[in-house]
Amino acid sequence: MSLSKIEKPLHTNTIKADLIVGDQVLQENPLVESKIDVDLKNAITHARHLIAFTGAGVSTLAGIRDFRGKNGLLHALDADKLFDLDWFERDPSFFYRHSRDLIYNLHTIQPSYAHFELARLESLGIVKSVITQNFDMLHQLAGSQQVFELHGSPHKHTCMNCGRIVFYSSIVTQLASRTVPRCSCNGIFKPNIIFFGEMLDGPSLAAAEEEVDRADLMIVMGSSLVVQPAASFPELFAHQGKPLIIVNDQPTPLDYLATLRYTDLEGFLAALTAMTT
């Protein structure tokens, strides 16, 4: 794989998201769901290294609005501008004003059923790791141990002047009394989230790539699969001939590569719980 810089998503045409078994496109009905459940159980049973790839959809179940869903933040604010490195450097107050209810309230939010279920499956040895596009830290809070955060995390913030690192709680404290958090050197703190225009973290990226190479089954949960280079992980995985399962309420550009395709994340999780307990 050759993945490096995070790019703004391209606009894609809407495509129909049917359920897929092998090369056969099937309509959603009870008989199809039964067939899918059998194939899902077989896929999980035979997988020796199952990994999950998660997007904002798993966190909407925790009450966090996603970006590109039906009621996503993209429709309420300029998300591309919010996470644009050039804009941050010109006016960091724009980011901090608009991210208070998106990032700096995360300590008030509990993981969703999806987060806890993935942590449970990891504890059973069924899921080996989680590769996530999210930076809400909820996978770790739910108990997942092997988490690869492709887009970084606000757990740490770095001073853009002297390089000093502080933790999330320190920034939350500062934001209670000021618009932009600053270092003792008067430099501005930036969250260790990968903004558009920034390079992905090399060691983290390499570790995630190695994990994908080891995997023999990938389940995508709650991702629109339009943000690059993260979306390249499931794409390259499927092109290697490995089974890819996609669970997302909206169509994705990679639906044609899916061995199994679901639109109901909660229903999928319920089925997953039932077949592994």
Q: Are residues 207 and 165 in the same domain?
A: no
pLDDT score for 10: 36
Q: Are residues 55 and 24 in the same domain?
A: yes
Domain boundary, last residue among 138, 162, 193: 193
Query: How many domains are contained in the chain?
Result: 2
Contact 187, 159 (CB under 8 A): yes
Q: Are residues 130 and 30 in the same domain?
A: yes
Instruction: Please give the angle made by the CA atoms of 152, 157 and 158, to the nearest 5 degrees.
Output: 105
Listed as ranges, residues in the chain with pLDDT below 70 are 1-36, 65-79
**Distance set, CA 115 to CA 49, 132, 137, 141 (Å):** 19, 11, 10, 8
Q: Are residues 82 and 176 in the same domain?
A: yes
Domain boundary, last residue among 160, 193, 226: 193
Q: Are residues 262 and 215 in the same domain?
A: yes
pLDDT score for 229: 83
93 lies in which domain range? 65-108+152-193
Q: Are residues 211 and 244 in the same domain?
A: yes
pLDDT score for 177: 95
pLDDT score for 129: 97
Options 151, 155, 157, 239, the catalytic residue: 151
- Single-letter amino acid code for the residue at 84: D
Domain boundary, last residue among 163, 193, 223: 193
Q: Are residues 275 and 218 in the same domain?
A: yes
pTM score of the predicted model: 0.83
Looking at residue 91, which CATH number applies to its domain? Answer: 3.30.1600.10
Instruction: For residue 151, indicate whether it is catalytic.
Output: yes
Looking at residue 227, which CATH number applies to its domain? Answer: 3.40.50.1220
DSSP symbol at 186: S
Contact 258, 20 (CB under 8 A): yes
